[in-house]
Chains A and B, each alone.
Chain A
Amino acid sequence: MAKAQFAQLQAEKVSRSVEMMDEVEIDATKLSTRELNDRLRDLMQAGAEKVVLRNVCGQRYIGTRLYSPEHRKMKIEIFGTPGNDLAAFLFGHEIIVHGNAQDGVGNTMDAGEIVVEGRAGDVLGFSMRGGKIFIRDNVGYRTALHMKEYEEKSPVLVVGGTSQDFLGEYMAGGIVILLGLGGKVHKGNFMGTGMHGGVIYLRGSIEASQVGSHVEISPVDDVDREILERYIGEFMERFPDLSLNKDQILKDEFVRLSPRSKRPYEKLYAY
């Protein structure tokens, strides 16, 4: 009982401070992961719509503890380097990172948007089911693994640079675009191994040896170009400083990776 009362008092206190400000700032210096996420949760429950986090340095799970039965939405701006599992299980919030992100960004994310003005580490967008992720630079290994889609939910990941190995392994849905900006060559191997849904677009070209046996490499058609135009446009809106020329980019060569079969394991069993 005492705990509930304390929480209520906390919420009221935070709520008063929220009313006084359009956006709330938190200095994350010396805050542990749990302390930082406690504050974010209190702010969400008090009705804050935008929170700016300064001096973030390795705190994990930012955005993860923001489930509310009312599906409250918050915008979180991060200065510094958030730790692993940024926005894991994200439930519709919007996160902008002015810097690099580490491993596990958007793990099992359900909805919302993540923008990283820098690079991101391994296992980005793992099992992501909805929402959008925009990464300005490169991403690490095992990106977009087992990404899925369901009814109106179809995740989108746009990466300005390129990725390491195992991109889109077990992919079951969604759209992944690697732009290879700044002359980045796609050197990742084992792309799309076990892929059985979704689509990957790469600007530039790759060798057949770089993809898994379940993947078909094909040129893009008009439908693909429409998809690319839309999401490259959205990418450019997030990163105006890059001063990209959309028409120029769209004229370049793209390849499409898609699954050869939606049932790669269909004939595995005796009877």
Chain B
Amino acid sequence: MKSFVFPEFQIVRDEEKCGQCRGCERQCAFGTHSYDLATDRLISDEYKCAGCQRCVIFCPKNAIEIRPTPSFYRPNASWSREKLEDLKKQAETGGVILAGCGNDKPFRIYWDHIVLNASQVTNPSIDPLREPMELRTFLGAKPDFMDIKMDDGEVEIETRVGPNLMVETPILFSAMSYGAISYNAFQSLATAACKSGTFFNTGEGGLPKEMRGEFGRCAIVQVASGRFGIDAEYLNCAAAVEIKVGQGAKPGIGGHLPGEKVSPAVAATRMIPTGADAISPAPHHDIYSIEDLSMLIYALKEATNYEKPISVKIAAVHNFAAIASGIVRAGADIIAIDGLRGGTGAAPKAIRDNVGIPIELAISSLDRRLRNEGIRNRASIIAAGGIRCSADVIKAIALGADAVYIGSAALIAMGCNLCQKCYTGKCNWGICTQDPRLEGRLNVDIASQRLSNLIHAWSHEVSEMLGGMGINALESLRGNRDHLRGVGLYEWELDVLGIKGAGE
């Protein structure tokens, strides 16, 4: 059937600069560029372009420019170009529209409407270059009371504290599975996490056996509805175990790794046959209630000899704070909440763009709910979905999170340009692909260095902002909304966030 959708991008090649090296042709896995022998020129098929900018960045002559196409449908506020084109694609195929990365719709980004405080005159600000700054964070359940013993002036803590994860900086890598991302991308995250004193999350695709010895100590391993790659060794080699209930990019639905991406190595890690579809059902079919969830939490505590904190990850949705309260009572040591803008390798666009609530509002309502119920100490909160910079991190903590997960930000550090074609398996940046030729483009040493650099830079910025507020430990900022003010927000938004308007 003839497609009535025209190309999204216009490819402009400066023929004077172009040296016919055919680099662009080799770089593009979508087959956009090809060499025409007759004219000795490179030609481009704009229909195939994903807008990932790989050819632009790797053209040695700087001869290519990829722009949004100037072609247009008659402007219509209701029928935007995206609405028209998605509809056409569905009329042509009868299928679900898939999308990669996170929600790209203009929902209000609260981070950009919240401003931080700084010390002036009184309570002097602190310079992190001269004075120690404590970003170290412990994730896990804290006891209600601490029994201490005083012996000859020596204080000894008698209460047994459950297992906690110690992170040097409150930034962890979010769940991205091997299978969705390439082996090299996965290993880069693992390497950077270990190097930076933080953790990476395996997602639900298992942890390759050969990585368990070296990287298990910085791994949070996931148990999702598909239960792929899970055995007692997988659970025990890790630092923590996370039960994935929901994901911000696609709350309420399952996942599906198509058989094409299940290479022999991915199959071995997921422990399923090569080429088989890996289907993650929407719910865990052994969890239909909080009691059932509690049963799985304790099954995992048993399976790991009560040595590891158990996290439960849910998507932030309308009534999630009540659910989260139940999750804490069910025995979870960590709650990870993933907001509306959380990323993914593939999600039905209808769900990605329309389901869930912004993470900023979610952090605040969850923290408040757990405080009001007197159970905030029983679980740490990791916030995910839409953290773009160090200021977002520090605002998340001031709203009540203990730490944040970064997913898209980590991928961007490795080279991702958010072209949203992750689900095609043809990622030209070698991140979201299982094609050995493409995967080889991602050098683990360089990619992990870029990730470590990012963590280092953000951590330093967090210290600077913290010092500016006259605070020398992140602990003192947690849930400290007095240091936040809202700009351009409605009353109800300020109420949910629990902050005052600027100037108040």
Contacts and interface: CB of A to CB of B under 8 A. Distances in A.
B489 interface: no
B90 A126 contact: no
Contacts of B97: 269-270
Contact of B273 (A37, A89, A146, A173): A173
A235 interface: no
A84 B302 CA distance: 13
Interface in B62-95: 89-90, 92-95
Contacts of B128: none
A67 B231 CA distance: 9
A126 B286 contact: yes
Contacts of A196: 276-277, 279
A41 B267 CA distance: 32
A89 B285 contact: no
Contacts, number: 129
Contacts of B276: 172, 196-197, 262
A91 B97 CA distance: 41
Interface in B251-266: 256, 258-259
A129 B286 CA distance: 16
B233 interface: yes
Contacts of B279: 170, 172, 194, 196, 265
A37 B272 contact: no
Given A110-B231, A148-B272, A88 B299 contact: yes
Contacts of B235: 67, 89
B166 interface: no
A85 B299 contact: yes
B49 to A, nearest CB: 15
Nearest to B86: A270
Interface residues of A, number: 47
Contacts of A123: 285-286
B285 A65 contact: no
Contacts of B95: 267-271
B249 to A, nearest CB: 16
B361 interface: no
A169 B254 CA distance: 15
A67 B271 contact: no
A142 B285 contact: yes
A108 B230 contact: yes
Given A110-B231, A270-B90, A85 B295 contact: yes
Interface string B199-213: 000000000000000
A260 to B, nearest CB: 14
A142 B92 CA distance: 38
Contacts of A197: 273, 276
A196 to B, nearest CB: 6
A126 B285 contact: yes
A153 to B, nearest CB: 8
A142 B226 CA distance: 15
A153 B273 CA distance: 10
A192 interface: no
B231 A37 contact: no
Contacts of B226: 127, 146
B501 interface: no
Nearest to A170: B281
Contacts of B256: 265, 268
A64 B403 CA distance: 31
B120 interface: no
Given A61-B299, A67-B303, A268-B95, A108 B277 contact: no
Interface string B291-315: 0000100110011011000000000
Given A85-B295, A88-B299, A197-B273, 14 more contacts: A34-B306, A61-B302, A65-B305, A67-B233, A69-B233, A89-B231, A173-B273, A196-B279, A264-B277, A265-B277, A267-B95, A269-B95, A270-B90, A270-B98
Interface of B: 89-90, 92-98, 226-227, 230-233, 235-236, 256, 258-259, 267, 271-273, 276-277, 279, 281, 285-286, 295, 298-299, 302-303, 305-306, 423
26 contacts: A34-B302, A60-B295, A88-B299, A88-B302, A89-B303, A91-B232, A104-B299, A108-B227, A127-B226, A127-B227, A145-B286, A146-B281, A146-B285, A148-B272, A149-B272, A149-B273, A153-B271, A170-B279, A170-B281, A173-B273, A263-B259, A264-B277, A268-B96, A268-B256, A270-B90, A270-B93
- Cβ-closest 8 pairs across A and B: A67-B232, A270-B95, A127-B227, A150-B271, A91-B232, A61-B302, A110-B231, A64-B302
